[in-house]
Every structure is written in structure tokens, then in C-alpha cells.
Copies of this chain bind each other. A is one copy, B any other.
Amino acid sequence: MSDSNDEAATTTHAGPHGYISNKDAYLKRLRRIEGQARGLQGMVADEKYCIDILTQISAMTSALQSVALGLLDDHMSHCVVAAVAAGGEEGNAKIREASTAIARLVRS
């Protein structure tokens, strides 16, 4: 299933959403996170020591947060900046939307 994603990752057309420049890096980090999720299943299946599993979950959570913060920064640097620079209500709408996403990240 991840093969098709890998292929997609090698397409090079510029997308509309601004983070294309780092796309392969994001995909690589997300594949590693997927691997961590699979590793956790192995640990639970093998009944590894619970504290060691929790350590892995903390590492995976940090990796996910790091991806989220990177995407958010990209989003604000491209999408929000473009909307604000274009003037009008769209810029404010983008800021509000980003604030809502930030609140979800802070509280999750």
C-alpha cells in the first residue's frame, strides 16, 4: 500500500499548497513514523516491558509534533502570507484557521 505513496512522492509537479520543496523529507519522516507504529505492534505482540513501549510512544509523539510544526510553519510562510498579501478578508480567514489548528496542536 505504501508503494503507491512512494511513487507519488517522486512526482515533481509543483502543488498548490506550498510545502512541495520539502515533500520528500516529510514523506521520509512519515514513513519512519509508520515504522514506529509497526514497531510498537511488535513490542505489544511480544509483550515487551511496558516502560520501554511508553518510551517509544513518547519518541513517536515528538516526531509527529515535529512534522506538524514544520507543516504549520510552511503553511504560514506560503499560504497565509500569500492570502494576507493579496488583501481582503481571505487573509483574516487564513489566520483564524491557522489559530484553530494551533490550538488543536497545543491541546492534543
Residues of A within 8 A of B (CB): 1-2, 5, 8-9, 11, 15-20, 23, 26-27, 30-31, 33-34, 36-38, 40-42, 44-51, 53-55, 57-62, 64-65, 67-69, 71-77, 79-81, 84-85, 87, 91-92, 95-99, 101-108
Contact = CB atoms under 8 A, between A and B. Distances in A.
A102 B102 contact: yes
Copies in the complex: 4
Contact of A101 (B54, B79, B80): B54
The main secondary structure of chain A at its interface with chain B is helix
Contact of A77 (B49, B57, B95): B95
Nearest to A92: B77
Interface centre among A16, A60, A96 (most CB of B within 10 A): A60
